[in-house]
Structures are given as C-alpha cells and as structure tokens.
Structure 1
Amino acid sequence: MKWLFITLVIANLAVYGFSQLETPPSSIELSQREKNASAVKVVTGQLGQVTAVNMASEPVPASAPLATATATATATATAKPTSKPTPTPVAEIGRCWRWAGITGDQIDSARTKIQNLSLIASETASGESSKVWVYMPPLATLEIAKQKAAQLAEMGVTDYFVVNNGGRWQNSISLGVFSNREAGERHLAELKALGVKSAVVREKDDTLKQASFSFKNLNSQQSDKLAKLSAQFSGSVLRENKCK
C-alpha cells in the first residue's frame, strides 16, 4: 500500500508538470495583447455605425469611408463656379458736331488735320460769294470778346465765333454772312428779338473768308480728338448738334 500511494503521487506530479510545459505562461498572452493594443481604434458617430455594420458582415478598412468623404469634400471645394452669361454690349450712340469760326489761312490747315485724324466732315465755306456780314464790332480785348460770346450762347444764339487772327477785325464776333442784304437784315432782326443789341450789318468788302465743318455720328474717341483739334484754332467754336 505504501508503494502504491507513492507511485500515484509521482504519477500525478508528472502529469501536472507535463501540463505546465504545454500551457504558455499567462504573462506571454498579456504581453501579446499589450502589443496589439495600439492597433485598436475607438470609432464614434456615423463612421462608427457604418464600421459596426460592416464588421457584422465582412471586414472593411476603417480608412475607406474617411477617404471617400475627404475626396468628396476636395471635389466640392475645387469645383468651378458656374460662369455668368456675358451681357450683350450696348451700341454707342454717335454724336454730331459743328466746328465753326475757321478763317483765312486756318481753313487749309483745319482741313488737313481733319483728314489726318481720319474724320469725315462736310465743309461749308462762305466769304467770296457773300455780300453782307452780321457781326458785333471789335471789343477791347480777346477775353472780353469771349465773355460776350458766352453771353450770346446763354441767350440762344447758335451761330457765332470770335475773330482772333490778328487782323482788322480782331476781337469782333461774327454772327453770320449772307448772300444779300435782305437775308442779313432778317437775321439781325432775329438776333434783336433774342436780346442782342450791339450787332450790325455791313456790306461785305474785306469780310473774312470763313468756313465751318459738320461731323456726324462720332464715337467718344473721335469726339475727344475733335475737341483737342478745335482747341488749337483760337477763336473757333465747336458745338454739339442734334443728329438728323
């Protein structure tokens, strides 16, 4: 009996020792779990719900929904805005002008410069065939003559210019030339009705040769060129007329 008891004890010890050799130490298992702990990610919100559903069926990389959302956001941010339709340009309305008060030698110079600016004008000349001249006699200075001309414009006079060529009629104001005295007297009466008091009519003998130029349908750029040109001819007058 004694030997049988000893034998059973030894057998049990052997079985226990063998089982201890077969089972890995618990510390190894914990170590492995700690090493894999960094791979565990806590996912919340809508992304967590999507991941939980996918895990129930088959594994889906957690980065897939995030990559899709990022790509969508990038595409939205870089999308070009819809271009607005180009408005239809409005055609510019042309302007009409009359440039008067060009006298003597100025006429040829004005005609040449008009051509150089590629402007088209109709020319009206007067002088040789005219017999009477309606005018205001020369004033003391050119500045006074210009002030008087400005007053004429305010009174409604449309055909006038200051003579400024250094000749006999310097600083006078021309109000028109006519082929006969009757037409001159009629125009003088019209001026008197407007309030012009110092205008007179005289027989044409040494009256200045005059010319005027009319321009139609000029755009803004052409009108600016004409204004700069007229400023070069002292005493000339540039007026805008209604286009016909």
Structure 2
Amino acid sequence: MLRFFFWFLLVVNALALAFNLGWLGNWPMETHEPERLKQQHHTSQLVQIPASVALAPAAHPPEKKDEITACLEIGNFLQSDAPKIEEKLKTLALGDRQARLNVSDSASHMVFIPSQGSKEGADKKVAELRRINVTDFFVIQDAGPLRWGISLGVFKTEEAAKQHLAALNTKGVHTARIMPRTVTTNKFSYQLRALTSEEKAKFDALKVEFPTHDERNCQNTAYGKT
C-alpha cells in the first residue's frame, strides 16, 4: 500500500511540474494574468486621447435662421378681381400680416376694343376674350363714343401700353387699339408682411398667375386695412 501512494504522489508531482513548465501545451485556463491582459487589450492599437478633448462638450452646428422678408406689395388690381385674388392669397394663411389697400391709379394711355354698338355685342366680345383666357378687362358703360367698348388696361406710359397690346396680339386679340386718355381708376393692392422663406416661395409660385401686375417693396410704406 505504501508503495502505491509513493508512486501516485510521484506521478501527480510530475504532472504538476509539466503543467507549470508548459510541457502539456497552452490551455485557455492556464494563461497567466499578464499574458491574458496583453491578449485582451491589444495595447499596440490603443490611442491616447487628451483629457481636454475627451471632456470637451460636443459641438453642434449653428442653427440656420429663417430669412424674413419685411414687406411685399402686389397690385394694382381691379375691384372685380378681389374674390379671385383673395382666394389665391388665402393659401398663404398670413392672417393679420396681410392687408388690402385702396389705390387711385392715374394713367394716360388705354388699350381698348372699340364700341360693339350694344350690350349684346359687348357681351359677345367678352365671351370671345374669356375663351382665349383674357380676363383682365372692363366693359365701358359711360355715355359717349366708347360706350359698349372694352377697356383692356390703362397705363402710365405709351411704351407699357404697346407691350400689353403686343401680348394681347399673341393671344389672338387683333381688334384692340391704343388711345391717349387720362383717367383715374379705383384699384387695390395687397401688402404681405414678415414672410418666411417658405411663405415667400409659395407667394412666388402664386404671382405667376398675375404677370401684368407689379411687385414692389413696401417695408417703409405706411398701410391700413380696408
């Protein structure tokens, strides 16, 4: 029995010695702590970060402020155009930032179609104009040689009147004429204030439907609602 324990202990000690010397191979559990840390951290790939950088707050890009247009005015429109214009501008939803102004518009040249002789003749000519998409006109009902003629616009300069007449000719209006005539018409315009970039873009898309009307800056102009 004693001989058995002697040889048993001798074999155990020999295995222990071989284990410590690495003769039995690299087992996962036998890795010494320094070697384990070396394999775990890959120190050659570590990059040292200065404390000032590590503790610095994250930088945020500056917020882009929306550009504001102070005041724009578009006009001048005939009173009969009010429902159509206001329906278009309603899509901007400007509330009290939109104001309507009455304008006295003096002009010295008129583009017109001569008298049609009667109301029935004027109505027939109006229907023809609408069929070719001409909608900015006024039937003259005052007593005189122009009664039952059709005004297609009054202008401050002859050059402006000629340009309008040329545009009408391209649409198929060939009976219109230009005559000097100083008149004062009651028209109106709209002022649109504090427009954002998005609202300005929407307005630009709308105003192409009113090519014969002016757009002007009104930031220094006093205004009042009507």
Q: TM-score, normalised by structure 2?
A: 0.45
Pick the structure with more strand per residue.
2
**Highest Rg: 1 or 2?**
1
Query: More relative contact order in 1 or in 2 (CA 8 Å, sep 6+)?
Result: 2
Q: TM-score, normalised by structure 1?
A: 0.43
Pick the structure with more helix per residue.
1
